[in-house]
Amino acid sequence: MCTAKLDGEAKRWYEDNMSLTHWENLKSSLLERFTTSD
């Protein structure tokens, strides 16, 4: 359910990493992949 709003690159990334089934793991992985480091 938490992936319902994913689209484009984020959706493709999730589909390639479907082993991320727990929200905390998914959240941290999404943030790591799609945010810039300062």
Q: What is the mean pLDDT of residues 14-26?
A: 77
Which pLDDT belongs to residue 27? Answer: 84
End-to-end CA distance of the chain: 31
Which pLDDT belongs to residue 28? Answer: 87
Which pLDDT belongs to residue 26? Answer: 80
Query: What is the spatial distance between Cα 23 and Cα 26, in angstroms, rounded to a whole number?
Result: 5
> Across all residues in the chain, what is the average pLDDT?
80
